[in-house]
Amino acid sequence: MNAGLFEGRSADDRPQADTVSANGQAGGLSSDSAILLVDDNPAVAGAMQIAFRVAGRRIETASGPEEALSRLASRRFDAILLDMNFTPGQSSGEEGLALLARIMADDPGACVLVITAHSGIRIAVAAMQAGARDFVMKPWRNGDLMAKVEAAIARGPSLGPGAVAGMAVGGDASSSSGSGGAGPVGLLGESAAMQGLRDLVRRVAPTPAGVTVTGPSGSGRMLTALAVHAASAHGGGAPRRIDVRDGSAWAGLPQGPGTVILRHPDRLGEVDQARLLDRLVPQLRCIAIVDDLGALTPAMRRRIATVEIAVPPLAQREGDAVLLARHFARLAAERFARPSPRLTAAAEEAIAATRWDDEVRGLALAIERAVLLAEDGTIDAAALAAPAAPRRAEGTASAEASFDLTDAERAMIEAALREHRHNVTHAAAALGLSRGALYRRMARHGL
């Protein structure tokens, strides 16, 4: 927040010769190094953007914690420059320290340099204790700034007090620098439910325990599974993902140490679950996404479901729908090369009040559509009410009556599954079917 730019425009404002190599790049920073600057002061952001661009670096900016976390959820940065105050009049550094704690908890390998005023040495020390790799004092000299960023990236993560052994995504500078590895996974949301979910992920991920991820479809189960993997000992590489309903995919099951994300083991019958179990070697860490824990055989449950992580439906995440909507709006604007749109207050109210079909995925789709259709960079409530895909009315005849029995059976099964939050055992009971019979019908309808 505090002002403070360059100490005048001198030769020092340019990167110093000893930090620039023959190809014009500063020392250890590659030309595709991406830096994230988190600062709400447009003058600081503008000055830093110029400084990094002159040095041939790419830099993105975020004006506060929400935007910073959104950007960090969509890509990995080689270094993060973090201002410590974002609210006018604030100088305690608490906002910056809170954001630093969140960044380090999500990714202990993150390379963070904090930006403080000269009077902020106490804050800088607290930040270093919390895992920051260095600090930059305002006003800064561009040569020093580049050298510090370069050195911090090259140094690699240290196991500071905030770091949990085994959780760091790789232990050296190269694996933390974003080019390789799966990188951290941003599970956004500030609701108590999401904070609890992230805590559980952090506690469970470093262990070899089998984890099942449950919750409604579209709520972020795969993202949660990826977050468990990213924060685990094998988090440096992409995990194998296998939909076990596809028998031919079983050949891809790792036969040694590693992690596999198994989709839908609960959709297999008992015999196939036993066969699958035989293929899961002891050193393999399993993270499974299931609709119905009760459909797992006891043996399968013991192997893959030591801990359950239940992803809460959006309706149970106070305030998160709007935050996610802004995140998806930013992502969509980037993807479609549009200016980042603003959501009106009415649009945000509508987003918070809507029960999103298909959960987070449904919200993302509505926002993407609205971004594409937005004409003046604004998304209002009407833009969100854009035509939804025609849905069969639940339990009633659709507008265009259909007497197709296959369609009717599928509609009833879908309705029962929705009603019982994809708990197959309960849905089967409601339909008067055995679980096996329901699974067979679900398979027939591709559900």
Ligand X SMILES: Nc1ncnc2c1ncn2[C@@H]1O[C@H](COP(=O)(O)OP(=O)(O)OP(=O)(O)O)[C@@H](O)[C@H]1O
* Minimum distance from residue 84 beta carbon to ligand X (Å): 25
Q: How far is the CB of 316 from ligand X (least distance, A)?
A: 13
Distance CA 291, CA 309 (A): 12
User: What Cα–Cα distance (Å) separates residue 350 from each residue in 44, 66, 189, 322, 330?
Assistant: 35, 20, 18, 9, 18
CB of 419 to ligand X, least distance (A): 17
Min dist CB 42 to ligand X, Å, is 27
Q: Is the distance from CB of 308 to CB of 350 less than 8 angstroms?
A: no
Residue whose entry in the numeric block shows the structure tokens 């559980």: 200
Closest CA to 74 of 330, 322, 314: 330
Question: Interface with ligand X by CB under 6 A: which residues?
Answer: 73, 186-189, 217-223, 289, 324, 360-361, 364
Cβ closer to ligand X: 78 or 106? 106
Q: Could you tell me the two tokens for 283?
A: 């050193």
Q: What is the CA radius of gyration of the chain?
A: 25
361 vs 441 by CB, closer to ligand X: 361
Distance in angstroms (rounded) separating the CA atoms of residues 402 and 393:
12
Residue among 28 and 312 whose Cβ is closer to ligand X = 312
Closest residue to ligand X using C-beta atoms: 220
- Backbone phi and psi for residue 354, each to the nearest 5 degrees, phi listed first: -80, 140
Which of 167/197 has CB closer to ligand X? 197
Q: How far is the CB of 120 from ligand X (least distance, A)?
A: 32
What is the DSSP code (8-state) at residue 62?
E
For 248, residues 6+ apart whose C-beta sits below 8 A from its C-beta are none
Q: Quick one: 138 or 267, whose CB is closer to ligand X? A: 267
Least distance CB 230 / ligand X (angstroms)? 13
Q: What is the dihedral of CA 82, 88, 92, 95, to 10 degrees?
A: -50
Specify the residue, 217 or 340, whose C-beta has the smaller distance to ligand X: 217
- The Cα–Cα gap between 186 and 70 comes to 8
Give whichever of 253 and 364 is closer to ligand X, judged by the CB atom: 364
Nearer to ligand X, 276 or 364 (CB): 364
Nearest approach in angstroms of CB 87 to ligand X is 24
**H/E segment holding residue 82:** strand 79-83
In angstroms, what is the minimal distance from the CB of 73 to ligand X? 6
Report residue 228 CA to chain centroid gap. 11
3-state secondary structure of 406: helix
